[in-house]
Amino acid sequence: MRVKQRKPRETGRDYALRMLKENIIHLDLAPGSLVSENELAAELGLSRTPVREALIELSKVHIVEIMPQRGSRIALIDDRLVQEALFLRETLEKEIVALCCRRVTPAQLSELEAIIFRQEQYQDDDTSAEDKHFIELDNLFHQKLFEIADKSLIYSIIQDVVIHFDRVRTLTIDYMRPSVITEQHRKIFEAIKSGSITSATELTQQHLGKFLGIEKELREKYPMYFVSESTAA
């Protein structure tokens, strides 16, 4: 598990929750893997209580399964929950980019383009799809859209639900060349820059739904990560 430094004034529970989310999204805590409160607490330098509270919080959105007397397990990827999370992201982000088209400033356009430029540094590297930094830049691009639309609180609120979709996004980034994702970001940026709401919303829907076209391939490549289709049915 990757462990980052605790932020100033961050409670133990919030720190544990942030680290668990990041490691689940980046698949360092892989779907189906067992986790121990004691081991997590030791890695994070915390007592068991905040770790237990964080696990309980994640169990409420079905990303962690708590098994009495046996510990906890990171839930497998469930297509139904992914679809719900995707619906939420698509519905919100199409409105978000529409707002961006109306209110984006030159300074904000420069900030967006700087993120894309940093992503472009990876696109010719065959190993960059596995680089967690590229994934963080991908997330930063979407977070910046919410900031430009003055909807940062909404972005924060939906993170617990969209974690189901974010795990698939991680697999998609690992499966696709970074240049494809970066090019999609560039097109969304250009649509926002030109103020074309129709183009921006259509491109956003295509970008977020990119995994649908390779869902079968993802299942075949990572069968151990998904709820089996027979079980889901």
Q: Are 103 and 193 in contact (CB under 8 A)?
A: no
**Is the pLDDT confidence value at 203 over 90?**
yes
Structure confidence at residue 124 (pLDDT): 58
Asked if the 79-224 domain carries CATH number 1.20.120.530, the reply is yes
**Is the pLDDT confidence value at 20 over 90?**
yes
Alpha-carbon distance of 119 to 183, in angstroms, equals: 10
DSSP string computed for 67-80: ETTTEEEEPPB-HH
Q: Is the dihedral of CA 195, 211, 22, 164 positive or negative?
A: positive
Three-state secondary structure string covering 11-70: CHHHHHHHHHHHHHHCCCCCCCCEECHHHHHHHHCCCHHHHHHHHHHHHCCCCEEEECCC
Alpha-carbon distance of 132 to 69, in angstroms, equals: 34
**Is the pLDDT confidence value at 125 over 80?**
no
The tens digit of pLDDT for each residue in 113-124 reads 999 999 888 765
Fold for 12-74, please state it. Arc Repressor Mutant, subunit A (1.10.10)
Domain range summary for the chain, segments of one domain joined by +: 12-74, 79-224
The tens digit of pLDDT for each residue in 174-196 reads 667 778 889 999 999 999 999 99
Q: Are 31 and 77 in contact (CB under 8 A)?
A: yes
- Model confidence at 231, pLDDT cuts 50, 70, 90, reads low
The tens digit of pLDDT for each residue in 85-106 reads 999 999 999 999 999 999 999 9
